[in-house]
Amino acid sequence: MARILLVLPGAGSPELLALEAWQALMSVPAFASPGEELATRLRQLGYEVGELVEAGPLQDEPARGGLPLLHSHAAIPEGARALAGRLVELAAERGEIAFIGGDEAVTRALTERGMAGEVEVEFVMGRVPRGHALIELVSVMARLRGPGGCPWDAEQTHQTLAEHLLEEAYELLEAIESGDEEHIAEELGDVLLQVVFHAQMGTDADVFDIDDVARGLIDKLVRRHPHVFGEVEVSGPQEVVRNWDRIKHKEKGRRSAADGIPEALPALAYAQKIQRRAASFALGDLVDPRVAGALSELESASESQREAALGELLLSVVALARSLDLDAETALRRAARLFRDRVVDAERRARETES
């Protein structure tokens, strides 16, 4: 009996195909309907995959993502039946063929033919692990930077992309503060683009690639979570932070709790980080979190001492935020935006009064 190896690609990436799927595609003539993602990728890699012209719509409604769900009660569109019939004819002509198809209606139509005894249908399932789209992302980035790709992408360097990384990070922060989950996902994608872009430049220069980046991160996470991957016990989140700082301090060979804090950080964020780092190393609270005393000193300071006194007041405000488990940078940004709204509202009311 004629045989059809129905390859359900799952994620659509050749790298995620099961061994059985590869064996099927390489051992018998392979076909796919137009636009099938996996077939397109295989052709780009140099594999021969014939294209079957569809006789009409394969789905009455947009197909769902993932592997096909066999709902026998749903009507099978004529286009799907026609494509299944053509596959049965090809299988009869050649004895055995492979068909790449993630379309539910075609899968059901072929299953119907198989149950009627017209053809033997064997399902070969692809894998859909979490994170599979990252493989596609890396491939797209390589294409953009490669021959025939995008000229703008091709001329970028780590240095020229630096400003974009900072901008995307701030846009993500704004999305997080908005609480809009869809916006957060979009901005996370823009930040991820920066990571993949820099990794591809490392690949192009043959110095590191995306796997080096990921492996380095995995190793770091394992090392710095001995309470998860080792035998260390912790009493709570605060001890986790202290352990992280101590392990990092030892790994980096730092001689001071202040080492490794970027000087380019905004002043408020810098103050927060150095205070937290000092506390992690049991150096005590070197700044008094009581703002009243620092404010009093500012008010009584001479003109030449006012800047230093103001700095001490701001340090005390940061210490107060830490003691309340608040983020001073976020609090100030939100307060500044509320102030901005008041300014805009005042301007609007002024214009209304004038008119």
Spell out the domain ranges in the chain: 3-129, 130-223
Q: Which amino acid would we find at residue 266?
A: P
* Interior angle at CA 174, CA 168 and CA 178, nearest 5: 140
**Residue 230 falls in which region: left (phi positive, over 0), alpha (psi -120 to 50) or beta:** beta
* b/e sequence 26-61, b meaning 16+ C-beta within 10 Å: eebbbbbbeebebbbbbeeeeeebeebebeeebbee
Give the per-residue pLDDT at 120.
92
- Tokens representing 24 are 């099927």
Residue 70 reports pLDDT greater than 60: no
pLDDT grade for 88, boundaries at 50, 70 and 90: very high
| pLDDT of residue 73 exceeding 50 | no
Give the highest mean pLDDT range of 9-18, 134-143, 201-210.
Answer: 201-210
Q: How do residues 292-323 score in pLDDT, each as one tens digit?
A: 777 888 888 888 888 888 888 888 888 888 88
Q: Given phi > 0 = left and psi -120 to 50 = alpha, else beta, which region is 101?
A: beta
Per CATH, the number for 130-223 is: 1.10.287.1080
pLDDT at position 161 is 93
Q: Is the dihedral of CA 269, 275, 279, 282 positive or negative?
A: positive
Structural contact between residues 141 and 196, judged by C-beta atoms closer than 8 angstroms: yes
Structure tokens at 292: 């009243």
Both tokens of residue 111? 């299953």
Number of H helices, E strands in the chain: 15, 5
Per-residue confidence (pLDDT) for residue 67, from 0 to 100: 41
Burial of 211 (0-12, 13-18, 19+ CB in 10 A): exposed
Distances (CA, A) of 349 to 268, 338, 341, 353, 355: 33, 17, 12, 6, 10
Look at 23 and 180; give whichever has higher pLDDT: 180
First to last CA, the chain: 87
What's the mean pLDDT when you consider all of the chain? 83
Q: What is the pLDDT of residue 127?
A: 65
pLDDT tens figures, 27-47: 889 898 877 877 888 888 888
Q: Would you state the pLDDT for residue 286?
A: 63
d(CA 170, CA 178) in angstroms, rounded, equals: 12
Does 97 score more than 80 pLDDT? Answer: yes
- The yes-or-no verdict on residue 75 having pLDDT over 80 is no
pLDDT tens digits, 202-250: 999 999 999 999 999 999 999 999 999 988 888 988 888 888 878 887 8
Q: Which residues touch 194 (CB under 8 Å, ≥6 apart)?
A: 161, 164, 165, 168
Q: Give me the pLDDT at residue 129, please.
A: 67
Question: What was the pLDDT predicted at 288?
Answer: 67
CA nearest to 268, candidates 325, 339, 333, 324 = 333
CATH number for 3-129 (one of 3.30.70.20, 3.30.750.24, 2.70.98.60, 3.40.1010.10): it is: 3.40.1010.10
Among 166, 191, 187, 168, residue whose Cα is nearest residue 176: 187
Task: Give the mean model confidence (pLDDT) for residues 4-15.
Answer: 75
